[in-house]
Amino acid sequence: MKLEPVADLPEIRPGDDLAELIADRASLEAGDVLTVASTVVSKAEGRMVDLESYPVSGRAQELADRIESVAGERKDPRFAQAVLAESTELLIEAPFLLTETRFGHICVNAGIDRSNVPDHDLLLLPKKPAESAERIRTGLTERGLEDVSVIVTDTCGRPFRHGQRGVALGWAGMPASRDWRGEPDRDGRELGVTVQSVVDELASAANLVTGEGADGTPAVVVRDWAFGDLEGSDELFRAVEDDLVRQALREWDWGDDS
């Protein structure tokens, strides 16, 4: 498998055609997977906003005060309001805000970014990353670059581990996972639970190339990787009824001692 960054992409502005910008700079072939950081997808879709655009509700002020009392860190209530606006559910209130985004992703602060946003305070995640991925893929197809899969990526932490790693937010042209259940291991034992999240693994691999912070390489071409002949699935975000951790958080007593 080979990973090649797409070099010399300009600073992305609202309305920019990512498919065109990438097609002009990347040597794409049928079967490639193109990963695109959600940062540039959000910029192209005009998801840059200012804190002043969020009038503070009583709930946002309450959350900001709670975080300050528990973590000793002042949280701007306007930022808390932005997080509430981008979330369908608040799972943890302190010492940070753990939320479910409107497209089903669980992350801190609804994935809102405060870095690499010239002239603005905040960068929101794409509204519908799967549709964003499909638009990029369609744009590539219209330019003669057929059979290229697209993954919109982001970085986030993982419970019980330090650090960040790449994850998929949306994808097009390929399943999210491949199902190994029913396949034998080397000793002939049948696998019973193994479903491999390939879009997350490709996003994480690409993140080694894109880097973090000021690297400025938001797109990567993955080549010579094959899904194989296993069954595929697009079920990436775990349903509430199957998520024991989320169920436990819902039952948690958010009293003054929490």
Predicted pLDDT of residue 159: 83
> Is the alpha carbon torsion for 19, 176, 148, 223 positive or negative?
positive
Are β-strands 177-179 and 231-233 bridged in parallel, bridged antiparallel, or unpaired?
antiparallel
| Run of H or E residues at 69 | helix 58-71
52 is in an annotated binding site: no
Predicted pLDDT of residue 242: 83
Amino acid at 224: D
Phi–psi pair at 196, nearest 5 degrees: -95, 120
Amino acid at 61: Q
12 is in an annotated binding site: yes
Query: How confident is the model over 178-186, as a mean pLDDT?
Result: 91
pLDDT tens readout for residues 35-50: 999 999 999 999 999 9
39 is in an annotated binding site: yes
99 is in an annotated binding site: no
Contact 103, 127 (CB under 8 A): yes
pLDDT tens readout for residues 144-153: 999 999 999 9
11 is in an annotated binding site: yes
For residue 46, count other CB atoms closer than 10 A to its CB. Answer: 12
Contact 140, 125 (CB under 8 A): no
38 is in an annotated binding site: yes
For residue 146, count other CB atoms closer than 10 A to its CB. Answer: 14
43 is in an annotated binding site: yes
Q: Predicted confidence band at 256 (pLDDT cuts at 50, 70, 90)? A: low
pLDDT tens readout for residues 47-73: 999 999 999 999 999 999 999 999 888
Task: Please say if the pLDDT value at position 14 is more than 90.
Answer: yes
Contact 58, 84 (CB under 8 A): no
Predicted pLDDT of residue 120: 81
pLDDT tens readout for residues 188-232: 999 998 889 999 999 999 999 998 777 789 999 999 999 988 889
182 is in an annotated binding site: no
35 is in an annotated binding site: no
Predicted pLDDT of residue 254: 59
Predicted pLDDT of residue 116: 79
- Between 24 and 252, the more confident residue is 24
Joined together, the tokens standing for residue 215 give: 């690297």
Joined together, the tokens standing for residue 253 give: 């007593």
Contact 8, 129 (CB under 8 A): no
Joined together, the tokens standing for residue 187 give: 């000793």
Phi-psi region of 133 (alpha: psi -120 to 50; beta: other; left: phi over 0): alpha
Which single residue is written with the structure tokens 């697009």? 234
217 is in an annotated binding site: yes
Task: Please say if the pLDDT value at position 20 is more than 70.
Answer: yes
184 is in an annotated binding site: no
Predicted pLDDT of residue 258: 45
pLDDT tens readout for residues 229-244: 888 989 888 888 888 8
pLDDT tens readout for residues 86-140: 999 999 999 999 999 999 999 999 999 988 787 788 999 999 999 999 999 999 9
Q: Where are the beta strands (DSSP E) in 114-253?
A: 122-123, 149-158, 161-172, 177-179, 195-196, 219-223, 231-233
- Name beta bridge partners: 98: 92, 108
List the one residue out of 28, 32, 11 whose CA is nearest residue 151: 32
20 is in an annotated binding site: no
Q: Distance between CA atoms of 80 and 117, rounded to whole angstroms? A: 18
CB burial class (10 A; 0-12, 13-18, 19+) of residue 22? buried
Q: pTM of the full predicted structure?
A: 0.92
- Between 145 and 255, the more confident residue is 145
101 is in an annotated binding site: no
- Between 24 and 159, the more confident residue is 24
Q: Structural domain boundaries of the chain?
A: 2-250
Query: Domain 2-250, what architecture?
Result: 2-Layer Sandwich (3.30)
Q: Name every residue whose Cβ is closer than 8 Å to that of residue 253 and which is 6 or more positions away in sequence.
A: none
Q: Distance between CA atoms of 73 and 68, rounded to whole angstroms? A: 5
Predicted pLDDT of residue 253: 63
Joined together, the tokens standing for residue 22 give: 């990438």
- Between 83 and 251, the more confident residue is 83
34 is in an annotated binding site: no
116 is in an annotated binding site: yes
